[in-house]
Structure 1
Amino acid sequence: MMIKNTNDGSKNAPSLRIDINYGTCEDLPSFSTGPKGNDREKHIRIVKAGFQGIQDGNPELCKEFGLQLTAHARINDVGDLDELAPKWNAENYNCATIHLGWGIESDEKVDELVKYVLEISSKFDFPIYIETHRATITQDIFRTVELTKRFPEIRFNGDFSHWYTGQEMVYGGIENKLNFIQPIFDRVRFMHGRIGNPGSIQVDVKNDINLEYVNHFKKMWKRSFIGFLKTAEPGDYICFTVELLKAEIFYARTIPNGSGIEQEEGDRWQQALLYKEIIEECWRNAKQEM
């Protein structure tokens, strides 16, 4: 019951698609250059910025503006996908990424959940990618690698900031950690774009400075692209979905402005545009290494 790759039905070479998670546009600070209007205005700006799809976008607006659509959900128990999967299929979502479990389950319960996801993905011929995320069954890199041994057909949404910060991957040496999670990179078929440092899960970055932690994320993203390209078929594509979330849910950091009022440290919209440049560079480098 292999979870399939996303595929556009063409004979084109395997490709990268750059999307945005709709939460990136939620409650942007007043100084942001990004869209702050209604849903229609936000979808128009997303199209004009060159993003090809939206995770959790409005299905009708995405269809109107030629945007692709991906889904996201939290799945806590067997049965939680029974109504969602056929709905996603009927509304022409390309795939879904899920937070699976809470990370406090026994291995037996974890296996039950993973088997269920594999069965539903196969039954509806619909890609469902398990996200690497805190407070889920994949919050620990050792346990997640062990999952790939029991379920080699599993496929992931690589949201690596949760591991980079949450498991302090630089502590003890980053390279041995990257080598250890190679079985994950080989199975990544979707990515959430967010860069953290060892102490904060989401930080502003500048590509021309090449901070050490930015380079670490570039390495993880490139390894994931290579893992995808090794087995990709014509028409297959991998989504890189920029997901930069607001301070109210403890993602964006805040700093005092000139008046001493706390505000987000940067413009998430401008950061999203920068991520497009960074990930295109990673994709080019991955293809050159193949």
Structure 2
Amino acid sequence: MPRLLILQSVWGMDRCSGFDVWNDLETALQAMVDAGFDGAGTNLVRKERTAITSRFMNERGLAWEAQVLVHSADELDRFADEAASLSAHHLNVQIAGPMDRVTNAVRLVESLERVRERAGLPIFYETHRARLTQDLPFCLRMLDALPAIPLTADLCHYVVAGEWDLPVDEAKHAAIARVLRQARAFHGRIATAHQVQAPVGGHHRPWLDLFLGWWRQGFAQWREQAAADDTLSFMVELGPPPYAVVDAGGRELTDRWAEARQMMALVRGLWE
């Protein structure tokens, strides 16, 4: 039956207390495995991290997500070959942008699609600020023209970029539902109207409930079209400062690694 793979971001372990991903990445990777994560995610441009992460996860039969930023089809072609040769589970692509014309955006994505269709692994396009998918109304018009492109839904960017407040109105829920229909992977953190990464729970509980509801909806829609042996990845991506909130001395206000494990448990509960 279809399975959920919950990954932990290597970037999300950067500057976590007790870990040094720059000099001892394997300790952090082992902690992920021991905590119950199904793998990790790392950016291909960080060659040493990629080499260590791919070897570590491949040797254990676990998954890892390769991540890239691309400007052209030629660039994606090279990254896709590299990710496939390293046995990545999939390639997560941020597309450079934004652009001012939907027609230009569609033309670029169509060129990327020709690469994706012949690639040796799945490729998904991430919704993200400061990228082609930055503006949600623009992205929705692009999806109207490209109703089959597979997305990595990182929904926090739309909440903070649009300064959405609670309660979220039906038009915004409908816009997110449109993105979720094409979601083939997820990145996860909790955002608010003014923070891209808020603490999990506490007085942010209404925001957590909002995202849990969206993820549950996305999981259900994915399962409706999934084959028996398909896998859906959800990467916990709680980043270091400036994503993480800090005090006047620069110290993070929460235990990010503990929150990552808490999010893993919440997401696994949604799936089950």
User: Aligned residue for 1:276?
Assistant: 264
Deviation at 1:16, TM superposition (A): 1.0
Say if 2:58 and 2:87, in contact at 8 Å, map to a contact too. no
- Higher mean alpha-carbon deviation, 90-99 vs 108-117, is at 108-117
2:253 to 253, 265, 269: 265
User: Aligned residue for 2:205?
Assistant: 211
User: Aligned residue for 1:252?
Assistant: 244
User: Aligned residue for 2:96?
Assistant: 101
Could you tell me which amino acid in structure 2 is paired with residue 160 of structure 1? L
Cα separation, partners in 2 of 1:175 and 1:14, compared to 1, 3 Å = same
Q: Which has the higher contact order (CA 8 A, sep 6+)?
A: 1
Could you tell me which amino acid in structure 1 is paired with residue 15 of structure 2? D
- Higher mean alpha-carbon deviation, 56-65 vs 231-240, is at 56-65
Deviation at 1:281, TM superposition (A): 2.4
Return the alpha-carbon distance in structure 2 between the equivalents of residues 52 and 181 of structure 1. Answer: 27
- TM-score, structure 2 as length reference: 0.90
Q: How does 1:29-68 map to 2 (within 5 A)?
A: 32=17, 34-36=18-20, 38-56=24-42, 57=50, 58-68=53-63
Cα separation, partners in 2 of 1:78 and 1:48, compared to 1, 3 Å = same
User: Aligned residue for 2:131?
Assistant: 136
Could you tell me which amino acid in structure 2 is paired with residue 108 of structure 1? T
Deviation at 1:210, TM superposition (A): 6.9
User: Aligned residue for 1:70?
Assistant: 65
User: Aligned residue for 1:10?
Assistant: none
Could you tell me which amino acid in structure 2 is paired with residue 243 of structure 1? E
- Higher mean alpha-carbon deviation, 170-179 vs 67-76, is at 170-179
1:193 to 168, 181, 188: 188
Say if 2:199 and 2:254, in contact at 8 Å, map to a contact too. yes
Deviation at 1:124, TM superposition (A): 1.5
User: Aligned residue for 2:237?
Assistant: 243
Say if 1:35 and 1:45, in contact at 8 Å, map to a contact too. no
User: Aligned residue for 1:178?
Assistant: 173
Say if 1:19 and 1:52, in contact at 8 Å, map to a contact too. yes
Say if 2:102 and 2:142, in contact at 8 Å, map to a contact too. no
Could you tell me which amino acid in structure 2 is paired with residue 92 of structure 1? S
Deviation at 1:87, TM superposition (A): 1.3
User: Aligned residue for 1:24?
Assistant: 12
Secondary structure at the aligned position of 1:239 is classed as strand
Cα separation, partners in 2 of 1:243 and 1:172, compared to 1, 3 Å = closer
Q: How does 1:77-88 map to 2 (within 5 A)?
A: 77-88=72-83
Deviation at 1:67, TM superposition (A): 2.6
Unaligned runs of 5+ in 1: 1-12, 285-290
Deviation at 1:171, TM superposition (A): 6.5
Deviation at 1:27, TM superposition (A): 1.4
Deviations 1:91-133 (A, max 9, x none): 1111111111211342232112211221111112421111110
Deviation at 1:283, TM superposition (A): 1.7
Could you tell me which amino acid in structure 1 is paired with residue 37 of structure 2? F
Return the alpha-carbon distance in structure 1 between the equivalents of residues 262 and 15 of structure 2. Answer: 19
Return the alpha-carbon distance in structure 1 between the equivalents of residues 121 and 112 of structure 2. Answer: 10
